[in-house]
Amino acid sequence: MHAGGTPRDVRQGSVAWPAAVEAELGPGFFTRGRNALAGCPARHRGQETWPEDPRATADGLVRTRNHPLGGRHAAPAGWGDDMRASQPGRRPRRGRGGRPGKWRLWLLVAAVAVAAVSAQVASRAPGRMQAISAGGPIRTASHNSVAAAAAGIRLRAARWVIEQVSGSAIVACDPAMCAALAAHGLPGTNMLMLRPAAPDPVGSDVLVATSALRNQFGSRLSGVYAPDVIARFGTGSERIEVRAVAPDGAAAYRSALGRDVLARKAAGAQLLRSSRIGGSAVAKAQLAGGAPDARLLVTLAALATAQPVYILAFSDPARGASPGIPLRCVSLTVKRRATGAAGASQLRQILAFLRAQRPPFLPQHAAVASLASGQPVLRIELAAPGPLGLLGANVFHDHTSYP
């Protein structure tokens, strides 16, 4: 460090060695004669000079206890002889080797070692030293990794909202999250920015809960405004949760969700009794448990009136959802072993039918693909969040007598 606190890299060649070493260690390290110490505080004079000491070891070193590096620093025996030489009538003291000036070799070795260490430290941490000299915060690697992880979580959450949330939904978010959503194409008319003074997220359909909003609303966030999680990204304090907003409060929302689960179980049981709807063991268990979204159940009933369908499985593209949140995706085919162009053609007809629907039955994504076995599959994915109370007590009454 040179005067003013700005770091200097000795490798740059702006100060030649050994001046670079002296600049790095400070002007008091390489002293020449007693006059050089006259202006230093007494504690520096006691730390930076080694008087003649009879405790010199066999290796020619004197172990000192008052050195600024702490009692373990070794100094050449005879250090300071050049200061005695500057006094008239005194002869320079010979070292244990019997030759005058042996300490100069020790000084040269020490200076080279210090220069190498200084250059290595400066090369490994230039950003850290610049931050310290500028008076700013120390940005260590751990800080950078935390910031990068938080930015990655925000990016994943923003992409998920763009791809999965209904295009007509109003998304509540803090300013940073709203900026990320806008960068991914969410129109401003679909955003409700919650600044620090915002009292509540009323008027939105989905809330992207970051740590800022959790701190802002506290227990009211999950206890009043948005009780259930649709999707979760990350863990700990940096996690981001996409939540369904309860317009009438958490109690009314949970009551409606409970009734919706019961209605989904009843509808799933009716579909399982149909000979025109088949499925894997996994899909049948999901239908019996009321796991699929009500919109999928209505859609499957409509498709079965035209041709038999076979359900491979229901799924959801999100993790960390609260219990009772329905599965919004289904993979199906027209026959259990349908292959080739005929099966794909039938699925494309179903796809055209689905794309002609209106919200909330219009799929967010739908496409025909092929499994590794060559079996064509139609994947249907609905938008989040799904409406509650869509199913009535006898929603499939007209379809209970399937052939």
**Distance in angstroms (rounded) separating the CA atoms of residues 360 and 63:** 83
- What is the rounded average pLDDT of the residues 211-224? 96
Q: How is 102-169 classified by DSSP, letter by letter?
A: HHHHHHHHHHHHHHHHHHHHHHH-HHHHHHHHTT-----HHHHHHHHHHHHHHHHHHHHHHHHB-TT-
- What is the rounded average pLDDT of the residues 78-103? 45
Q: Of the candidates 266, 265, 364, 353, which has an alpha carbon nearest to the alpha carbon of residue 309?
A: 353
Res. 3: pLDDT tops 70: no
Is residue 154 exposed (0-12), middle (13-18) or buried (19+ Cβ within 10 Å)?
buried
Residue with tokens 């070692």: 113
**pLDDT 10s digits, 143-194:** 678 888 889 999 999 999 999 999 999 999 999 999 999 999 999 999 999 9
Q: Cβ(308)–Cβ(278) under 8 Å?
A: yes
Q: What percent of the chain has pLDDT over 90?
A: 53
What is the DSSP secondary structure assignment for residue 378, as one 8-state letter? E
Average pLDDT over the chain reads 75
Res. 399: pLDDT tops 50: no
Q: Cβ(202)–Cβ(172) under 8 Å?
A: no
**Distance in angstroms (rounded) separating the CA atoms of residues 75 and 102:** 12
pLDDT value, residue 39: 36
Other CB atoms within a 10 A radius of the CB of residue 43 amount to 10
Q: Can you say how many angstroms the Cα of residue 289 is from the centroid of all Cα atoms in its chain?
A: 35
**Distance in angstroms (rounded) separating the CA atoms of residues 338 and 335:** 5
**pLDDT 10s digits, 284-324:** 999 999 999 999 999 999 999 988 999 999 998 788 999 99
Q: Cβ(230)–Cβ(385) under 8 Å?
A: yes
**pLDDT 10s digits, 236-288:** 999 999 999 999 999 999 999 999 999 999 999 999 999 999 999 999 999 99
Cis peptide before 18 (omega within 30 of 0): yes
- Residue 140 pLDDT grade (very low, low, confident, very high; cuts 50, 70, 90): low
Res. 356: pLDDT tops 80: yes
Is residue 67 exposed (0-12), middle (13-18) or buried (19+ Cβ within 10 Å)?
middle
pLDDT value, residue 339: 62
Res. 68: pLDDT tops 80: no
pLDDT value, residue 109: 52
pLDDT value, residue 315: 94
Instruction: Name the more confident of 120 and 369.
Output: 369
Q: Of the candidates 78, 74, 83, which has an alpha carbon nearest to the alpha carbon of residue 102?
A: 78
pLDDT value, residue 24: 41
Cis peptide before 360 (omega within 30 of 0): yes
pLDDT value, residue 375: 87
Res. 25: pLDDT tops 50: no
pLDDT value, residue 146: 80
- What is the rounded average pLDDT of the residues 70-88? 42
Q: Is 242 helix (H, G, I), strand (E, B) or coil?
A: strand
123: Cβ contacts below 8 Å, ≥ 6 apart: 9, 11
Q: Cβ(241)–Cβ(320) under 8 Å?
A: yes
- What is the rounded average pLDDT of the residues 77-93? 44
Instruction: Name the more confident of 341 and 44.
Output: 341
| Tokens coding 87 | 């006094």
